[in-house]
Structure 1
Amino acid sequence: MASIAPWKQALNAHIQTLACPTFSFATASQAGGISTPHVRTLVFRGFYAELPANKYNPVSGNTGFKSDLIAFTTDKRMEKFRDLGGVEGVASSSLPTVTNNVEACFWIPAGENPMIGKQWRIRGRCFVLPRDLEAEENGVKETKNWLIRKLSKESGGDGSDFDFAREYKAHFGNLSPVLRGSFRNPFPGAPKELGSGGLTPKSPIGDDQLDEGVALSHFRLAVIEPTRVEYLDLETSRKTIWVQVGSDAEKNEKLENFGKVDGSWREVEVWP
Structure 2
Amino acid sequence: MPSSTPAPWRAPFLTHITPLPSPTFTLATLQQQTPTLPSSSSTAAADSADSADSTNSTAFPRARTCVFRGFWASLSPHPSNPAPLNPTGVFESDLLVFTTDGRSEKVGGLFSSGTRSSDVKDTGGKEETLQTGGGGQVEAVWWVDKPEVRTQWRVRGRAWVLGSDVEGGGEKAEEVRGVLRGRMRRLLPRDENGDWSFAREVTAHFGNLTPLMRGTFKGPPPGVPVACGAGDGEVLAQRVEGVEDEAARRNFRVVVIVPEEVDQVDLSEELKPRRWLYVYRGEDGKARLPGGEVIGEWEKVEVWP
Deviation at 1:206, TM superposition (A): 3.9
Aligned to 2:8: 6
Alignment of 1:89-238 (within 5 A): 91=128, 94-111=130-147, 117-135=150-168, 137-157=170-190, 162-207=196-241, 209-236=242-269, 237-238=273-274
Secondary structure, counterpart of 1:169 in structure 2:
helix
Secondary structure, counterpart of 1:54 in structure 2:
coil
TM-score w.r.t. structure 2 length?
0.78
Deviation at 1:90, TM superposition (A): 6.3
Deviation string 1:50-100 (CA, Å, 9 cap, x unpaired) is 1123112122344112011100111111111111126699646x4451111
Aligned to 1:20: 22
Alpha-carbon distance between aligned partners in 2 of 1:228 and 1:5, rounded to the nearest angstrom: 11
| 8 A contact 1:51–1:61 mirrored in 2 | no
> For the aligned residues, what is the CA RMSD?
2.6
Alpha-carbon distance between aligned partners in 1 of 2:157 and 2:224, rounded to the nearest angstrom: 31
Deviation at 1:130, TM superposition (A): 3.7
- In structure 1, runs of 5+ residues without a counterpart are none
Aligned amino acid, residue 26 of structure 2: S
Aligned amino acid, residue 244 of structure 1: Y
| 8 A contact 1:84–1:126 mirrored in 2 | yes
Aligned to 2:123: none
Deviation at 1:215, TM superposition (A): 0.4
Aligned to 2:69: 45
Task: Tell me the number of residue pairs that the alignment of Structure 1 and Structure 2 aligns.
Answer: 262
TM-score w.r.t. structure 1 length?
0.87
Alignment of 1:48-63 (within 5 A): 48-59=72-83, 60-63=85-88
Give me the identity figure in percent. 38
Secondary structure, counterpart of 1:162 in structure 2:
coil
Secondary structure, counterpart of 2:230 in structure 1:
coil
| 8 A contact 1:49–1:62 mirrored in 2 | no
Alpha-carbon distance between aligned partners in 1 of 2:145 and 2:20, rounded to the nearest angstrom: 9
| 8 A contact 1:106–1:119 mirrored in 2 | yes
Deviation string 1:221-240 (CA, Å, 9 cap, x unpaired) is 11000000011110131111
Aligned to 2:44: none
| 8 A contact 2:151–2:266 mirrored in 1 | yes
- In structure 2, runs of 5+ residues without a counterpart are 34-55, 113-118, 121-125
Aligned amino acid, residue 216 of structure 1: R
| 8 A contact 1:124–1:227 mirrored in 2 | yes
